[in-house]
Amino acid sequence: MKIQLGWLIAVSMGVSVLGGQNANDTPEAHIALAKTAAGDDYRNLFNFLCAVPGARGGGQRGAPGGAPGAAAAPGTPGGGQRQGPPDRSTWYAEPVKVFDDLYFLGQTEYSVWAVTTSEGIIVVDTIFDYSVEEEVAGGLKKLGLDPATIKYAVVTHAHPDHHGGAKFLQDRYGTQVFMSAADWDFLDRTSGTKPKRDMVATDGQRLALGGTTLTLYVTPGHTPGTLSLLIPVKDNGKPHLAALWGGTGLNPDRDSLQTYIRSAERFTDIVRQAGADIILSNHTDWDQSKVNLPLLAKRAPSRDNPYDNPYIVGNQGVRRYLTVAEECATSRLMRLN
């Protein structure tokens, strides 16, 4: 389903719950806006974020991914202790070259993105402690790359499905780990495998390595100091710009939801001005990685996507993704009100 400029007009006619309401401004109206923005491209994201609260269970803030209503997984904040790693068959995924200088190294459900440069590698997120060695270190080796050259790891937020492998990278390769100050503090209050406090990422920080510069933005809401990024990449030599929304799931409290909405609005404006034309997630369901990664083997354009690489969705496609997040959060906040 291709969404044209009409969805932007529809969104502009809505009234933000942060700025006031009118008689027609209802949770259902915001869900409708989110559904329109999602189209077929981001249906999984819409279903995940716009689910009616309580439909999924306990609503643990510490659940991996911050799922609305999702119970905390064993071994995570809010849950019991994990009794050893899950069976490999339930999580292993092959590494994939996505762009000239961007690689997927994640699990079936969780993503690690590796940016290669002339002076080393930057990884975004580090998945779990039990999977990082095989998926990240082993994945790079399968792709002919050296994991010892991982200079930096940017952890988008302090949940174990994203920070759990960072300690391994610190200990094995001397990788410097970036996290926001608020999420380092959040991490200090948790248990389990975690990296030692390292580099503090600041809002708007430019992380440069080997001629490539990532820009980090503090976009709280999912966690107190979630990081979102702009990542320049090349596809067959042609430059593109990827936006990664660092924390997707919604928390059940009013303050977090209000903060999330403001962050989504701000990051939408950032990607609009920057001209980002690729959307990435750290969960494979939300950015269609489960569909896109197999397609990359063929590199054939689909009927609904005129681009050769399925991850290239255009700036409007990136903003539609963020609109789904913002509108679902607004609907959730209005239900609290």
CB atoms within 10 A of CB 239: 10
Question: Which helix (H) or strand (E) covers residue 167, if one does?
Answer: helix 166-173
Pick from 137, 146, 138, 270: nearest CA to 216: 270
Residues 6+ apart with CB under 8 A from 23: none
Evaluate if residue 79 carries a pLDDT over 80.
no
Higher pLDDT, 299 or 19: 299
Structural domains of the chain ordered from first start: 24-54+62-71+90-336 (3.60.15.10)
Distance CA 163, CA 194 (A): 7
Q: Which two tokens stand for residue 244?
A: 């990664």
What is the arithmetic mean of pLDDT over 235-261? Answer: 97
Q: What is the pLDDT of residues 126-159, one digit of tens each?
A: 999 999 999 999 999 999 999 999 999 999 999 9
* Bridge-based pairing state of the strands 102-104 and 199-201: unpaired
Residue range 162-187, pLDDT digits in tens: 999 999 999 999 999 999 999 999 99
Alpha-carbon torsion, ordered 159, 165, 167, 172, to 10 deg: -170
Long-range contacts of 299-305 (CB under 8 A, 24+ apart): 304/1, 304/2, 304/40, 304/41
Lowest mean per-residue pLDDT among 3-7, 115-119, 230-234, 282-286: 3-7
Both tokens of 156, joined, read 């988008």
Most confident of 3-12, 56-65, 141-150, 296-305: 141-150
Per-residue confidence (pLDDT) for residue 1, from 0 to 100: 46
pLDDT for res 298:
72
Calpha distance 51→60 (Å, rounded): 15
